[in-house]
Chain A
Amino acid sequence: MNWSKLLNIALRALLTNKTRSVLTMLGVIIGVWAVIMLMAIGQGLQNYVTDQFEQFGANNIFIAPGELFGEEGGGFQSDEQMAANLLANTLEYEDINAIRKMRQYVKAVTAFSVNSAEVSYKKNTEKSSIVGVNHDYATITSTKPIKGKFFDKAMEEKKEAVVFLGYQITKDLFGDVDPVGKKILIKNRDYTVIGVGEKVGGGFGGPSFDQYVFIPITNWFELFDSKLVIRVMAAIKSEELTDGAIKEIEKYFLKRLKADEFSVFKQEDILKIIDQILGALTAGLGGIAAISLVVGGIGIMNIMLVSVTERTREIGLRKAIGATPKVILIQFLIESVVLSILGGLIGVLIAEMMTYFVKRFIPAEVTWSAVVLAFGVSAAVGIIFGVYPARKASQLSPIEALRYE
Chain B
Amino acid sequence: MTQPVLVLKDISKVYRLGEEDLYALNQVSLTINEGEFLAVVGPSGCGKSTFLHIASLLDYPTQGIIQIKGMDTMDYTEPERARLRNREIGFIFQQFNLLAKTNAIDNVALPLVYAGDGKKDRERRAREMLEQVGLGDRLSSTPSQLSGGQQQRVAIARALVNQPSLIFADEPTGNLDSRSGEEIKKIIIKLNNEGKTIVMVTHDREIAKIAKRIVALADGRVVSDRPTKWARKTL
Q: Please give, as numbers and ranges, the residues of chain B lying within 8 Å of A316 by CB-CB distance.
A: 97
* CB of B158 within 8 Å of the partner chain: yes
Interface residues of B in 38-63 (CB under 8 A from A): 53, 56, 58-59
* CB of A65 within 8 Å of the partner chain: no
Sample 9 A-B pairs with CB under 8 A, ordered by A number. Answer: A16-B102, A314-B99, A319-B82, A320-B58, A320-B97, A322-B111, A398-B59, A399-B59, A402-B93
Cβ of B114 and Cβ of A323 under 8 Å apart?
Answer: yes
Using known A-B contacts A2-B116, A324-B82, A399-B53, determine if residue A16 contacts B100 with beta carbons closer than 8 Å: yes
Using known A-B contacts A322-B115, A398-B58, determine if residue A317 contacts B83 with beta carbons closer than 8 Å: no
Using known A-B contacts A1-B116, A2-B116, determine if residue A321 contacts B111 with beta carbons closer than 8 Å: yes
Q: Please give, as numbers and ranges, the residues of chain A lying within 8 Å of B71 by CB-CB distance.
A: none
Cβ of A317 and Cβ of B97 under 8 Å apart?
Answer: yes
Q: Which of A321, A324, A325, A398 is the one whose CB lies under 8 Å from B110?
A: A321
Contact indicator per residue, chain A 358-384, by CB within 8 Å of chain B (1) or not (0): 000000000000000000000000000
Q: How many B residues touch A, CB cutoff 8 Å?
A: 27
* CB of A189 within 8 Å of the partner chain: no
Q: Please give, as numbers and ranges, the residues of chain B lying within 8 Å of A317 by CB-CB distance.
A: 97, 99
B contact patch SS: helix
Contact indicator per residue, chain A 283-317, by CB within 8 Å of chain B (1) or not (0): 00000000000000000000000000000011011
Q: Top 9 A-B pairs ranked by shortest CB distance?
A: A322-B86, A322-B114, A324-B79, A16-B101, A324-B82, A399-B59, A317-B97, A321-B111, A399-B58
Interface bin, chain A: 20 to 34
Cβ of A321 and Cβ of B116 under 8 Å apart?
Answer: no
Cβ of A325 and Cβ of B58 under 8 Å apart?
Answer: no
Q: Which of B79, B86, B100, B101 is the one whose CB lies under 8 Å from A321?
A: B86
Closest to A323 in B: B114
Cβ of A327 and Cβ of B102 under 8 Å apart?
Answer: no
**What's the nearest-Cβ distance from chain B to residue A2, in Å?**
7
* CB of A101 within 8 Å of the partner chain: no
* CB of A100 within 8 Å of the partner chain: no
Q: Please give, as numbers and ranges, the residues of chain A lying within 8 Å of B158 by CB-CB distance.
A: 321
A contact patch SS: helix
Contact indicator per residue, chain B 78-90, by CB within 8 Å of chain A (1) or not (0): 1100110111000
Cβ of B114 and Cβ of A402 under 8 Å apart?
Answer: no
Give Cα A1 to B58, complex, Å. Answer: 21
Cβ of B78 and Cβ of A324 under 8 Å apart?
Answer: yes
Interface residues of B, Cβ cutoff 8 Å to A: 53, 56, 58-59, 78-79, 82-83, 85-87, 91, 93, 97, 99-102, 106, 110-111, 113-116, 158, 162
Interface residues of A in 313-372 (CB under 8 A from B): 313-314, 316-327
Cβ of B100 and Cβ of A322 under 8 Å apart?
Answer: no
Give Cα A322 to B87, complex, Å. Answer: 8
* CB of A12 within 8 Å of the partner chain: yes
Interface residues of A, Cβ cutoff 8 Å to B: 1-2, 5, 9, 12, 16, 313-314, 316-327, 397-399, 402
Q: Please give, as numbers and ranges, the residues of chain B lying within 8 Å of A9 by CB-CB distance.
A: 113
Closest to A316 in B: B97
Cβ of B79 and Cβ of A326 under 8 Å apart?
Answer: yes
**What's the nearest-Cβ distance from chain A to residue B81, in Å?**
9
**What's the nearest-Cβ distance from chain A to residue B99, in Å?**
6
Closest to A12 in B: B102
Closest to B85 in A: A322
**What's the nearest-Cβ distance from chain A to residue B129, in Å?**
13
Cβ of B85 and Cβ of A318 under 8 Å apart?
Answer: no
Cβ of B111 and Cβ of A5 under 8 Å apart?
Answer: no
Closest to A16 in B: B101
Give Cα A2 to B117, complex, Å. Answer: 10
Closest to B90 in A: A321
Cβ of B99 and Cβ of A321 under 8 Å apart?
Answer: no
Cβ of A321 and Cβ of B102 under 8 Å apart?
Answer: no
